[in-house]
Amino acid sequence: PSHGLILRNQKDSQVEIHKGITDHYLLFDLGQQLLKKHGSAYVETDMRAHLNPTRMKVIEETAQKLLEKIRSCCPSCSLPGFAAVASEPGLPCSWCGTPTRSTLFQTKTCIHCGHTEQVHFPHGKTTEDPMYCDRCNP
């Protein structure tokens, strides 16, 4: 398995638990032992980060966002933590000009001094692809 697994005799049982299984031969052998010994086996994903690549990716993305926030200094007081606290939709469609649900601007606020700015086109786009327009692509 690409993710670690937990094998136990029954769901929510603490009688016999095997954690961190990453080898399918071991999974099969332990499963056979549980079936022979208890008559049942229950498999679940091991959610501990070091055995769960999906969770590792989410943790990495969260760490990157935190790093970006730390690196984002306030233009008024120069302290870190100047970050987006809200976003407003309305980026116009490149075909018809109708406002879309895509972000037109973000409001950034300093957590220290309260300085606020609106940043238009935060994703570097001034118009949106018509595929995201409710009028052109309902």
For the CA atoms of 31, 34, 39, 42, what is the dihedral angle to 10 degrees?
Answer: -60
Q: What pLDDT shows up at residue 1?
A: 67
How do residues 115-128 score in pLDDT, each as one tens digit?
Answer: 999 999 999 999 99
User: What's the whole-number mean pLDDT along residues 52-79?
Assistant: 94
Contact 38, 49 (CB under 8 A): no
Q: What pLDDT shows up at residue 2?
A: 82
43 — pLDDT class (breaks 50, 70, 90): very high
Classified as helix, coil or strand, 74 is coil
Which one, of 31, 53, 52, lies nearest residue 42 by Cα?
Answer: 31
Domain chopping of the chain, boundaries: 1-71, 73-132
Q: Which residue has the tokens 């091991």?
A: 46
